[in-house]
Structure 1
Amino acid sequence: MRAVTIRQPWATLIAIGEKRFETRSWATKHRGEIAIHAGKAIDKKACEDPAIKIILTKHGYMTPGDLPTGAIIATGMLIDCWQSFTQEDQVILESAGRMRSITDFEEQVGDYTEGRYAWELDQMKRLQNPVPAKGYLSLWHWEKSSI
């Protein structure tokens, strides 16, 4: 299974289904199963953002130290890769001639600078017991049989 390493709290926001797009500077042609790996770094300033803090607390993550790191924390599906652009001060995503807008929260928790890519994630299943794993750059292979 393909995996992607994501800093915290973004990885957990994806795992709990609150964040549906992971923004990157590069596109991917991969579609299908994907594992979410929480890197070792935690953006503690982001964890203190009121909107993010409320969501994390609602799901039992009271402090940044409660977030799992260095582990696969969820699996799901990568269903599309959209390119980002701005139109009349609104972020618009485009893929194969289709366009869509995003929520204010998604805009807050991603980097939608024009020309970046938003990977659309769906059917996320948070693992009850995170699986320790070393993260890598880009998409990498993870043995699903580990869970």
Structure 2
Amino acid sequence: MRRGGGAGGGGGGGGRGYGNYTNPCLTMHQPWASLLVYGIKRIEGRSWTTPIRGRLWIHAASKVPEEDTIKTMEDFYREIYAVNGITDLKFPEHYPVSRLLGCVEVVGCVKCEELASWEAVPEGVRLEGQTDFCWLCEQPQKLLVPFEMRGYQGVYNLERKIHEAAIRGLVPVKGPMPVKFPLPNPQDPFSLKPGSISVGFSDNKASVVEKSEGLSAAIAGARAAATQFNKKDQNLLSNTTTNSYSNSTSSGRPDSKSLEEDKMLESCSVGGSGEEASVPSKTEQLNPIQCEESSSRGQTREDLKQIPGASAKIFAAAVRGLKQS
């Protein structure tokens, strides 16, 4: 049985969403974004519980990842997969930025301590949870031609035309160790929520994964990498003037657009990219950060419910790329 589909829109075509979400998307820093779409990362960590079930589109933020960060996170996943005997991991060859990369199916959300003690899932998966809330992700799919677009705060809806083109360019990805998270109630997509599985745990008999020296070092390194963004970007924001977007993408240096995006994003965590101070409001989730851009095009408040993710030229180029592939 395919979970996360039906009314939640997690099945074939996106369908209807829960609440105001029809084609929900989340912007994440690299390398975390690609690791999730490639099925290597199975837990997206946040300080707030997920408002959706079903398909979640993944967009890579504009910040170019540092080589040390990529190596640290790849080493982390090598170590946690080794716990389950998997030693031959194939990582993405590239970590593109400012691109819509693909999607995953969000089937539930549990507390970190619940995941760590959940014997129904492999040990390596339990080690991924390092944040307050762990979004459980399955069935990764990637775009043959990643779409260039910019991201927004929190969970937001893809613009309809972008979604229609992207849905045709998806291909399934088989991760090194796919996981099926069992729903307490298969008839209720929201049955796997914080507190739903902790009742079966005993405080005295919580399952603990034994950590080797190498694994402990990898976890410590991943945590250090995850906290780099807030501190660095706060300094950059106070000392950096506006640079052009083309300079940013060609040189790897942050510009005003990437700084704004990184400021609005949560700082990355080991399990994902989520340690912001508070849960974004519905207005923040559904409205673009620079509303003046939309206002200049004569859009109304109702129009803003479907957030424009890319210009018409970018969209047309992406569609042509799909037809040629």
Indicate the TM-score class for this superposition, using the shorter chain for normalisation: 0.7 to 0.9
Q: 1:137 to 1:16 in 2, by over 3 A?
A: same
- Partners of 1:40 and 1:106 in 2: how far apart? 30
Aligned residue for 2:68? 45
1:34 aligns with 2:62: no
Aligned residue for 1:75? 103
SS of corresponding position for 2:48: coil
Aligned residue for 1:145? 164
- Partners of 2:121 and 2:113 in 1: how far apart? 10
- Partners of 2:126 and 2:30 in 1: how far apart? 15
Unaligned runs of 5+ in 1: 94-98
- Partners of 1:60 and 1:77 in 2: how far apart? 20
Q: How much does 1:11 deviate?
A: 0.8
1:129 maps to a residue whose letter is: V
Structure with greater contact order relative to length (CA < 8 Å, sep ≥ 6): 1
- Within 5 Å, which residues of 2 pair with 1:92-131? 92=117, 103-104=123-124, 107=127, 110=128, 112-113=130-131, 116-131=132-147
- Alignment length, in residue pairs? 129
2:135 maps to a residue whose letter is: W
2:59 maps to a residue whose letter is: H
* Aligned residues of 2:45 and 2:134 also touching (Cα < 8 A): yes
User: Which of these residues, 5, 9, 31, is aligned with residue 9 of structure 1?
Assistant: 31
Q: How much does 1:44 deviate?
A: 3.4
CA deviations 1:22-81 (Å, max 9, x no partner) are: 0001112310111011112225323112535874xx3451xxxx3111111012211111
Q: 1:101 to 1:45 in 2, by over 3 A?
A: farther
Q: 1:15 to 1:100 in 2, by over 3 A?
A: same
RMSD over aligned CA atoms reads: 2.6
Which has the larger displacement, 37-46 or 123-132?
A: 37-46
1:22 aligns with 2:50: no
Point out the structure with the larger strand share: 1
Aligned residue for 1:96? none
- Partners of 2:48 and 2:133 in 1: how far apart? 6
- Partners of 1:128 and 1:106 in 2: how far apart? 31
Q: How much does 1:121 deviate?
A: 1.1
Q: How much does 1:84 deviate?
A: 1.0
**Structure of greater Rg:** 2
Q: 1:34 to 1:4 in 2, by over 3 A?
A: same
* Aligned residues of 1:5 and 1:39 also touching (Cα < 8 A): yes
- Partners of 2:44 and 2:96 in 1: how far apart? 18
Identity %: 23
Point out the structure with the larger helix share: 2
